[in-house]
């Protein structure tokens, strides 16, 4: 990690796929930082309608100040429905039509949807070109922009088509969070809590002390805590990705709360009724309760995690948010369709305690179904 007056730089050491994550509050030098990665001073920005209205102009100015020409601004529709083949195909064709070359770098300016789809387009256009992530939601800043997972959804599930394609640079300006609705901030915060829960008890305790200020505190302290939380989250994620880039082992820990959460999201059709971070929050609370019930984690640790999520305004029970009257058999069926199913067995990420998680395929389906019946009654 290195620090300057304007930003903190983390390094993701992946050999020839290595890159930096630059984190600051108000990255006026974003254009100069990007220019260092361009062979010709010409780029393409992919964003969505919401970000185009709030952030695009500021970033375009920063790029133009550094002498970068914007060959094309592609504005996608916001929302998960955009992550499909039709949109990717149109996006790649637009870029090719504008004279995209193999040495060009394209820029994803937006949340997880924009990052995932742009990264996937970059992975397949001209057999792979470079891309830069400028994440504009808290969730994208602490999770999806780092680690090289790119992709789109199919009727068979979220991100069921995709590629590992690492970005060339991740630029995180925490000031963009000022225009983010509180609900979106809370959803991103769930992923921050995840890092403390699975890997770092000290960080979790820090979040217990500072999480509420980070979400809705006074200007000065809010910004200071946000930067700190983003840096610590990105560091944990970078360490995990460096240890296991392709998710052959340890990286699966990052899915804590996601197997339960995705199943709930599926039941809402991945709609606004339950956004991803909310599904993860409920999923983490469920995984914590299940870990305690199976005797893996002390009940007090599960309760501590759930209490903190609740204190930060996040849902912790399936009935708190999203569809009512969920069918445990359907939820189990969704869990069995998860990408992480191996030899027909569901992969669960469970807790040993705050700061320590593990991966298991040993839990019997009957036991899980009984737990789901109890959670959903
Ligand atoms: N969001 C989980 C991962 O990147 O592995």
Give me the phi and psi of 77, to 5 degrees please.
Answer: -75, 140
Q: Tell me if 191 CB under 6 Å of ligand 1.
A: no
Q: Is 91 left (phi over 0), alpha (psi -120 to 50) or beta?
A: alpha
Distance 247 CA to ligand 1 centre (A): 9
**pLDDT at residue number 272:** 86
Res 324 pLDDT > 80: no
* H helices, E strands: number in the chain: 14, 12
**pLDDT at residue number 235:** 98
Q: Tell me if 143 CB under 6 Å of ligand 1.
A: yes
| Candidate from 128-137, 168-177, 182-191, 213-222 with smallest mean pLDDT | 213-222
Distance 158 CA to ligand 1 centre (A): 13
Span 56-99, pLDDT tens digits: 999 999 999 999 999 999 999 998 999 999 999 999 999 999 99
Residue 221 pLDDT class (50, 70, 90 cuts): confident
Q: Tell me if 226 CB under 6 Å of ligand 1.
A: no
Q: Tell me if 251 CB under 6 Å of ligand 1.
A: yes
The C-alpha atoms of residue 186 and residue 193 are separated, in whole angstroms, by 10
Catalytic residues: 127, 149, 191, 237, 247, 251, 255, 258, 262, 276
SS3 assignment, position 29: coil
Residue 346 has what DSSP assignment? P
Distance in angstroms between the alpha carbons of the first and the last residue of the chain = 48
The C-alpha atoms of residue 103 and residue 275 are separated, in whole angstroms, by 36
**pLDDT at residue number 231:** 98
The C-alpha atoms of residue 153 and residue 132 are separated, in whole angstroms, by 21
Res 256 pLDDT > 80: yes
List all residues 6 or more positions away from 242 whose beta carbon is below 8 Å from its beta carbon: 12, 13, 14
Res 222 pLDDT > 80: no
Averaged pLDDT, 209-236:
89
User: Is residue 18 within 8 Å of 148, Cβ to Cβ?
Assistant: no
> Which whole-number Å values give the CA distances from 261 to 6, 38, 279, 329, in the listed order?
37, 39, 4, 15
Res 268 pLDDT > 90: no
Span 120-161, pLDDT tens digits: 999 999 999 999 999 999 999 999 999 999 999 988 888 889
User: Is residue 226 within 8 Å of 177, Cβ to Cβ?
Assistant: yes
Radius of gyration of the chain (CA): 20
Residue 339 pLDDT class (50, 70, 90 cuts): low
Pocket test for ligand 1, best of 135, 149, 339 (most atoms within 8 A of CB): 149
Distance 149 CA to ligand 1 centre (A): 7
Q: Tell me if 222 CB under 6 Å of ligand 1.
A: no
What is the DSSP code string of 190-239?
Answer: HHHHHHHHHH-HHHHHHHHHHHHHHHHS-HHHHHHHHHHHHHHHHHHHHH
255 CA: nearest ligand 1 atom: 2
Closest by Cα among 129, 261, 233 to 174: 233
| Candidate from 197-206, 212-221, 284-293 with smallest mean pLDDT | 212-221
CB-count burial class (<10 Å; 0-12, 13-18, 19+) for 60? middle
Averaged pLDDT, 239-244:
98
Average pLDDT, the chain: 94
Residue 347 has what DSSP assignment? P
pTM, 2 dp: 0.95
Residue 342 has what DSSP assignment? B
Closest by Cα among 86, 82, 116, 121 to 104: 121
């Amino acid at each position: 990690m290195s620090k300057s007056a304007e930003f903190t730089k983390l390094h993701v050491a992946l050999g020839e796929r290595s890159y930096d994550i630059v984190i600051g509050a108000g990255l006026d030098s974003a254009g100069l930082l990007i220019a260092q990665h361009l062979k010709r001073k010409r780029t393409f920005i992919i964003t969505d309608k919401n970000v185009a209205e709030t952030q695009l102009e500021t970033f375009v100015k920063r790029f133009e100040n550094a002498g970068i020409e914007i060959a094309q601004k592609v504005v996608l529709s916001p929302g998960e429905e955009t992550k499909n083949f039709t949109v990717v195909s149109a996006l790649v064709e637009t870029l090719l039509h504008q004279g995209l070359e193999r040495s060009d770098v394209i820029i994803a300016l937006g949340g997880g949807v924009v990052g995932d789809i742009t990264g996937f387009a970059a992975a397949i256009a001209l057999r792979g070109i470079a891309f830069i992530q400028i994440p504009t939601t808290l969730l994208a800043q602490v999770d999806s922009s780092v680690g090289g997972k790119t992709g789109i959804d199919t009727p068979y599930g979220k991100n069921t088509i995709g590629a590992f394609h690492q970005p060339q640079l991740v630029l995180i300006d925490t000031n963009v969070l000022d225009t983010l609705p509180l609900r979106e901030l809370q959803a991103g915060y769930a992923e921050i809590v995840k890092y403390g829960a699975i890997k770092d008890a000290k960080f979790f305790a820090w979040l217990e002390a500072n999480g509420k200020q980070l979400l809705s505190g006074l200007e000065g302290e809010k910004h200071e805590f946000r930067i700190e939380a983003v840096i610590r989250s990105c560091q944990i994620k970078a360490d995990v990705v460096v240890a296991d880039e392709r998710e052959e082992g340890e990286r699966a820990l990052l899915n804590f709360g996601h197997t339960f959460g995705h199943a709930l999201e599926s039941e809402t059709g991945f709609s606004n009724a339950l956004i991803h971070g909310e599904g993860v929050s409920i999923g983490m609370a469920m995984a914590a309760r299940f870990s305690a019930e199976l005797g893996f984690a002390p009940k007090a640790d599960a309760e501590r995690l759930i209490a903190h999520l609740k204190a930060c305004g996040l849902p912790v029970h399936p009935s708190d948010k999203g569809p009512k009257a969920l069918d445990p058999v359907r939820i189990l069926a969704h869990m069995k369709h998860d990408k992480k199913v191996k030899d027909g067995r569901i992969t669960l990420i469970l807790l040993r305690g705050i700061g320590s998680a593990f991966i298991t395929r040993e839990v019997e389906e009957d036991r899980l179904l009984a737990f789901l019946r109890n959670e959903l009654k």
